[in-house]
């Protein structure tokens, strides 16, 4: 098992847990949209390192976007949480940033 996979799995568990706990369990966050962008950008970056480029990577990133949407939908079931399009946009922006930069990284690494 590669270190990228271990970090990906641990980060996924942490992100899902952080997104699906009641709001009162969380400390006040200065900019949660930035955290969404960075969290899903990190997951996308780890996927880009583990998966060969091309359509396989695109499919994995699309799956990650679907997972982000599912997490946002599931927040409706958590007390004090709700679906937020701005959170989803930040998730998508983090994934898209990596998707746009991944071909450049593969070309130079």
Residue 21 CB burial class (10 angstroms; 0-12, 13-18, ≥19) = middle
pLDDT tens sequence across 52-106: 878 999 999 999 999 999 999 999 999 989 999 999 999 999 999 999 997 776 6
* Residue found under tokens 């997951």: 43
Q: Whole-model pTM?
A: 0.90
pLDDT over 70 at 31, yes or no: yes
Helix axes 85-108, 55-74, angle to 10 degrees: 160
Q: What does the block give as tokens for 86? A: 């701005």
């Amino acid at each position: 098992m590669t270190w990228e996979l271990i970090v990906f799995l641990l980060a996924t568990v942490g992100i899902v847990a952080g997104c699906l706990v009641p709001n009162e369990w969380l400390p006040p966050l200065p900019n949660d949209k930035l955290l969404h962008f960075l969290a899903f950008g990190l997951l996308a970056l780890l996927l880009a390192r583990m998966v060969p480029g091309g359509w396989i990577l695109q499919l994995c990133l699309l799956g990650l976007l679907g997972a982000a949407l599912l997490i946002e939908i599931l927040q409706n079931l958590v007390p004090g949480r709700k679906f937020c399009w701005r959170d989803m946009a930040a998730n998508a922006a983090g994934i898209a940033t990596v998707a746009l930069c991944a071909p450049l990284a593969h070309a130079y690494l």
